[in-house]
Structure 1
Amino acid sequence: MHTLNLGILAHVDAGKTSLTERLLHTAGVIDEIGSVDDGNTQTDSLALERERGITIKSAVVSFPIDDITVNLIDTPGHPDFIAEVERVLNVLDGAMLVISAVEGVQAQTRVLMRTLRRLRIPTLIFVNKVDRGGAQEESLLRSISEKLTPAVIAMGSVDGRGCRDARCTPYTGADPGFTDRLAELLTDQDDALLAAYVENAAPLPYRRLREELAVQTGQALVHPVFFGSAITGVGVDALISGVRELLPASAGDADGPVSGTVFKVERGPGGEKIAYVRMFSGTVRVRDRLPFGRSDGHAGGGGDGRGGDGRGGGGRGEGKVTAISVFDRGSALREAAVGAGRIARLRGLGDIRVGDTVGEPDTTGRRNWFAPPTLESVVAPSAPVNRGALHFALAQLAEQDPLINLRQDGIRKEVSVSLYGEVQKEVIQATLADEFGIDVTFRETTTICLERPNGSGAAYEIIGQDPNPFLATVGLRVDPAPIGSGIEYRLEVELGSMPYSLMRAVEETVGETLRQGIHGWQVTDCVVTMTHSGYWPRQSHSHGVFDKSMSSTAGDFRNLTPLVLMSALKQAGTTVHEPMHRFRLELPTDLLGPVLPVLAPLGAVPGTPAPHGAVCVLEGEIPAARVHGLQQRLPALTRGEGVLESEFDSYRAVRGAPPARPRTDRDPLNRKEYLLHTVRRVAGQGDFR
């Protein structure tokens, strides 16, 4: 048996989960098709998913197609849960993008397709809901070609579109119009095929065209489009045949070194961690001791403004695999081993987290493909006595979604979480109430900015010289780096000039310190170089007792590094950047005049209007913090006819006074205040505070 790890993606309400149910039923895995409205689908297993009728967490189900086992990964469609989609993308062999025939290409559809094309993931497009009133066919194909990718071809036609008894008829080699369109599309991507097409007097054999279609689909060069309805089942047989014929099964060496990626973590009934792992190479067996963790060498967060993972950079752990489950015909079955190409649930790896690699460290340079969360909010328990329980509960949620990025304010005893939107906030609130019994309130949602250095700055402090109260020498230089490069840590001192534990303490503290820059925001796109180092080796009295007051410890370097780094950063200066969205606004042409003056006060920068008869399209950029305000005003401004689409685009320097975020640390920018909260026994001085 071969394995195909297939992701199913869509804009919310396009019918993705309903299609999953139909595929399972057609394959004979389930006897009765579940309904999203009734809350009894296979993949929406969370109580909250059933209640709200939306997918919140990715889920894996399996079904056979001939000799292929398809692991179908159902992903959320709502943009607030895009992080779940991002994690799944790294483990896919192919994808199925679902589009509603009624609503057509939507904002999230474009975001998803752009990313699938960038990653060169082979993708089939399924146009769902052809049986609904207002369903489109030719106009939707043009929209797909214009907004998603020009390299598409319809694999069949629709009869009775918009009616309950709509039928879909697959094209065959007997249809000259289809074979001509297919030949034109494929020869546009392959010069050898084009030469054969031009030189031969007769048309290319249909079998040759189908073979080439499979090759180019597998290379993500072309994207076949299937029509159908998940509710009635029309067109689904042709889609399943397309999956079997056109998408490549997974490849990997089961005898090679163990290597895999964790894309989901959940808790079992007893509270134990269960890691969902896609195996790329090797075989994992029960009772194997398995290394896992991150393998990046950066000091902290990436160029997108995300914080570090809390392990101090490239932290690695190890655990013993106590149980393995693999997916088969809708169930998770216990197995003694799992090999390359498959997806498994592993138990026993207590410290494992989403995004970790198992076995060999990841050297592929995988990166984040979607925008980071651009919003945050303070979450507080309704009953102060639940403060400790709240932090524990949020920490468990962060295991499943690291991008909620808990931010603990030890001074104010508050916890902030990062968010993609208001729906995610509501889901977190409901989850805390339902699963942990904690009622919480959220404060006003604010925008997450980031800081980038303006220039270079350097600072150092020498051991034993005033005003340095710590038994450590640290010198650091901060230099700006290209946008999107994140944080890089370098050495201009010999690696052996200090014990590794002290060197590591400096590097880890650099990453932690840069989470709060001069204005309180994450600092990114910079290179931090260690220029000075020095320590006092372990000292003991004559009777052999270790004297910490005369010996450098990692604590000295962790306490001194923030002072030095922030001095260097202050010298370099930073600029606060706010997240910007690219927007697309469709509105009646006669209302363009009244709408334009409203955009300027919102900080929007519109482009040139593009009128199309009675409808005008206006594109531009707008601060992420102002998108919600524009959405609220749009119905009144456009007689309810305006349609706004927006998505994260980039970060832009804030105009005017930069916003500041309250600090949650001991504030190394205020030396006196910092030292008042830092204790170190220095030789001959007693406690320094």
Structure 2
Amino acid sequence: MKNIVAGVVAHVDAGKTTLSEALLYRGGTQRQLGRVDNGDSFLDPNTLEKQRGITIFSHQASVNYDDFHLTLLDTPGHVDFAGQTEQVLPVLDYAILVVSATDGIQGSTRTLWRLLEKYQVPTFIFINKTDVIGAEPAQVVQELQSEFSPACLSFSEPLTADTIEAIAMTDDKVLSDYLESGEISDNTIQQLINQRKIFPIYSGAALKLTRIDDFIAGFSKWTVEPSLPTEFQGRVFKISHDDKGERLTWIRVLGGSFKAKEELIPNEKANQLRVYNGAKFTVVQKISAGEVCAITGPTTTFPGQGLGTTDDLPLNEIQPVLSYAVNLNGTDPHKCLLALRELEDEEPHLNVQWSEHLQEIHLQIMGEVQLETIQQLLDQCYGISISFDEGNILYKETITSKIIGIGHFEPLRHYAEVHLLLEPGKPGSGLSFANECSVDVLNHNWQEQVMTSLRDKEHRGVLTGAPLTDVKITLINGRGSIVHSVGGDFREATSRAVRQGLMELKQSGNCELLEPWYQFRLTVSQEQVGRAINDIQQMAGTFKLNDDHSNSSTAVITGTAPVTEMRKYASVVRAYTHGQGQLELTVSGYQKCHNADEVITKANYNPTADLDNTPDSVFCAHGAGYPVKWDQVPSMAHVTDK
């Protein structure tokens, strides 16, 4: 029997969960077709999901069709919960992208396509709601081909001559063989899909089961079961807690097998292996390659973690851009912090922090819907009633030129000196670390301590103290002492080297403040275009005016604008369009801050007073250590860079 793990992804309201319900119903997993609006869908068992009518958490279900076994992972559709969707994608064999026949490609559809491309997930497309008035499936196909890929091709059984010819055009070798033989084998088509050279499109109406059987037949025919290794490999893709508070580590086995009571990670055994189907589960003693299960026992696992011989995978494409302080409203801060830590365990992007100085709890989120959901979860699950402040934008900092930063730490009976090359990285690359230091200069053990220190610390910029990003940091030189150096010395010297280099760059005007920007799509009437463009210009945005081919009385404006300026613009649009306008917002990443001077002045950050991130060094003379200001460190360094 062919075994496939597939995820269903979509923009909110495209019918993603409805399609999942239809697939389960036709396979006999459930006896009646669940509906999101009725609150009885098989894959939205959480109370909050039933109340809000949206998928908030990813869920697992299994279904059999003759000789085809499908493990289905349903994912959240709302962009505020895209982080959970990103966690699931790396463990999928295939994705099913659902697009509405009436709405076409939406903001988060584009985000999902970018994620599917990043994680190289072979993708089938299902155009849903073809029965609804105003549905334009043929137009959606054209939209998919123009925006995503010309290889988004309509499939039907049997394949038409036009489709076969279009398939041949996606690969030079396949085209050559096709021109010679006039045929393309099923195996070749399967491989092209698996290599993301073809994206099959099916269409129908999931709610009425229209053409669902055609899609199941096509999906069963054109997918390929992965060939997996014999040694144990796996990946964690989700952390959750059951209704009794038991912590669950969800994994996909990518090779070999795993048994209950074995160590999942060092010093943490698996107590119980659960295979879920909706809200219910079966306890098994062993899981094999290709299977998915939830494990009780481990307490330090995290999404993206590699198991066995699999490396950890950073899940950093989706990043929150807003920070909120919690208004405790009389709640015990310790109780609230513990509850939020548990939610953070499931959603690491929350980055819950306790400010001792302000006596406040802060957390990071994607948007207003996630904020409301957190409030409801705390109320329903923990009996905690809180609110939030107005929120702040999460800024970041980067550099625009390279520099060698030097850190020296030499109090009495301690010694370490570290030289780091700081270089600008590509936008969106985050922080990367490299080592080009010879072991003849600095022994291997000390080098490892430097590299570990670089990876473990959250490095902050010197303009506002915001997190540093898009920088490559390379260890190039250093010195230790066989007699006096210990691990902590290199941790201190490493941090000081980064900060010293940043201070040099700030002095030369080569530090830059970044802010998050939205990519927007605004639909208004032709009469309101002037007002909209004026608003966008006032918000420091860029724009492009497009014709709305589906409606001559409306116009579509696309572009980018700072999150600070546009985050509350949706309510403005509703007001001046009397509810007829539509604004789609998708975080497009970080760009240069449009009002950097104002933000920096308001932050009033003094980098030399930040003792946890000092740029100054410590040298030793006459048997005593003494501080040396950052700008004097290069002239006093003990080793010289070539």
TM range (shorter): 0.7 to 0.9
Corresponding position: 1:323 with 2:272? yes
Question: Can you list the C-alpha shifts for 1:13-54, whole angstroms capped at 9, x where unaligned?
Answer: 112112222221211111222221232222212211111111
Corresponding position: 1:97 with 2:73? no
The aligned residue for residue 487 of structure 1 is: 432
Corresponding position: 1:597 with 2:534? yes
CA distance 1:428–1:660, change in 2 (3 Å): farther
- The 5-angstrom pairing of residues 329-408 of structure 1 reads 332-362=281-311, 366=313, 368=315, 370-383=317-330, 386-408=332-354
1-side partners of 2:439 and 2:278: how far apart? 57
Corresponding position: 1:572 with 2:527? no
Q: Secondary structure at the match of 1:522?
A: coil
The aligned residue for residue 221 of structure 1 is: 197
The answer to whether the Cα contact below 8 Å between 2:9 and 2:77 also exists between their aligned partners in 1 is: yes
- The 5-angstrom pairing of residues 106-145 of structure 1 reads 106-145=106-145
The answer to whether the Cα contact below 8 Å between 1:4 and 1:249 also exists between their aligned partners in 2 is: yes
The one of 466, 474, 479 aligned to 1:521: 466
The answer to whether the Cα contact below 8 Å between 1:463 and 1:470 also exists between their aligned partners in 2 is: no
The aligned residue for residue 457 of structure 2 is: 512
Corresponding position: 1:447 with 2:393? yes
The one of 381, 384, 403 aligned to 1:435: 381
CA distance 1:535–1:198, change in 2 (3 Å): closer
The answer to whether the Cα contact below 8 Å between 2:235 and 2:310 also exists between their aligned partners in 1 is: no
Corresponding position: 1:632 with 2:581? no
Corresponding position: 1:648 with 2:587? yes
CA distance 1:3–1:183, change in 2 (3 Å): closer
CA distance 1:469–1:450, change in 2 (3 Å): farther
Q: Secondary structure at the match of 2:252?
A: strand
Q: Secondary structure at the match of 1:607?
A: strand
2-side partners of 1:492 and 1:30: how far apart? 61
TM-score by length of 2: 0.85
2-side partners of 1:596 and 1:266: how far apart? 44
Paired residue type of 1:566: R
Paired residue type of 1:220: R
Instruction: Note the C-alpha offset of 1:475.
Output: 3.2
Paired residue type of 1:532: G
1-side partners of 2:202 and 2:456: how far apart? 48
Paired residue type of 1:604: G
Instruction: Note the C-alpha offset of 1:82.
Output: 0.3
Instruction: Note the C-alpha offset of 1:92.
Output: 0.6
CA distance 1:478–1:96, change in 2 (3 Å): same
The answer to whether the Cα contact below 8 Å between 2:157 and 2:218 also exists between their aligned partners in 1 is: no
2-side partners of 1:67 and 1:673: how far apart? 60
Instruction: Note the C-alpha offset of 1:190.
Output: 3.8
* Structure 2 unaligned residues grouped into runs of 5+: 615-620, 628-642
Instruction: Note the C-alpha offset of 1:526.
Output: 2.3
Corresponding position: 1:230 with 2:221? no
The aligned residue for residue 179 of structure 1 is: 160
2-side partners of 1:361 and 1:7: how far apart? 21
Paired residue type of 2:63: F
CA distance 1:513–1:285, change in 2 (3 Å): closer
Corresponding position: 1:17 with 2:17? yes
2-side partners of 1:127 and 1:607: how far apart? 27
The answer to whether the Cα contact below 8 Å between 2:107 and 2:521 also exists between their aligned partners in 1 is: no
Instruction: Note the C-alpha offset of 1:652.
Output: 1.7
- The 5-angstrom pairing of residues 449-468 of structure 1 reads 449-458=395-404, 460=406, 462=408
2-side partners of 1:322 and 1:373: how far apart? 34
Instruction: Note the C-alpha offset of 1:81.
Output: 0.3
Paired residue type of 1:187: A
The answer to whether the Cα contact below 8 Å between 1:586 and 1:644 also exists between their aligned partners in 2 is: yes
CA distance 1:198–1:536, change in 2 (3 Å): closer
The answer to whether the Cα contact below 8 Å between 1:94 and 1:248 also exists between their aligned partners in 2 is: no
Instruction: Note the C-alpha offset of 1:555.
Output: 5.1
Corresponding position: 1:248 with 2:224? yes
The answer to whether the Cα contact below 8 Å between 1:391 and 1:415 also exists between their aligned partners in 2 is: yes
The answer to whether the Cα contact below 8 Å between 2:235 and 2:251 also exists between their aligned partners in 1 is: yes
Moved more, 650-659 or 426-435: 650-659
The one of 552, 562, 575 aligned to 1:623: 562
CA distance 1:240–1:671, change in 2 (3 Å): closer
Paired residue type of 2:512: T
Instruction: Note the C-alpha offset of 1:289.
Output: 2.2
2-side partners of 1:498 and 1:140: how far apart? 60
2-side partners of 1:147 and 1:674: how far apart? 45
The one of 225, 229, 253 aligned to 1:279: 253
CA distance 1:579–1:463, change in 2 (3 Å): closer
TM-score by length of 1: 0.80
Q: Secondary structure at the match of 2:133?
A: coil
The aligned residue for residue 367 of structure 2 is: 421
Instruction: Note the C-alpha offset of 1:88.
Output: 0.8
CA distance 1:493–1:411, change in 2 (3 Å): farther
CA distance 1:392–1:552, change in 2 (3 Å): farther
* Structure 1 unaligned residues grouped into runs of 5+: 156-170, 292-316, 538-550, 676-681
Sequence identity percentage: 26
Corresponding position: 1:189 with 2:174? no
2-side partners of 1:211 and 1:510: how far apart? 44
2-side partners of 1:211 and 1:494: how far apart? 51
CA distance 1:361–1:638, change in 2 (3 Å): same
The answer to whether the Cα contact below 8 Å between 2:58 and 2:74 also exists between their aligned partners in 1 is: yes
Q: How many residues align?
A: 615
CA distance 1:8–1:657, change in 2 (3 Å): closer
2-side partners of 1:576 and 1:497: how far apart? 34
CA RMSD, 1 decimal:
3.6
Question: Can you list the C-alpha shifts for 1:187-218, whole angstroms capped at 9, x where unaligned?
Answer: 21244554565567xxx56xx56555434333
CA distance 1:601–1:469, change in 2 (3 Å): farther
Instruction: Note the C-alpha offset of 1:405.
Output: 1.5
Instruction: Note the C-alpha offset of 1:350.
Output: 2.2
The aligned residue for residue 151 of structure 1 is: 151
The answer to whether the Cα contact below 8 Å between 1:153 and 1:181 also exists between their aligned partners in 2 is: no
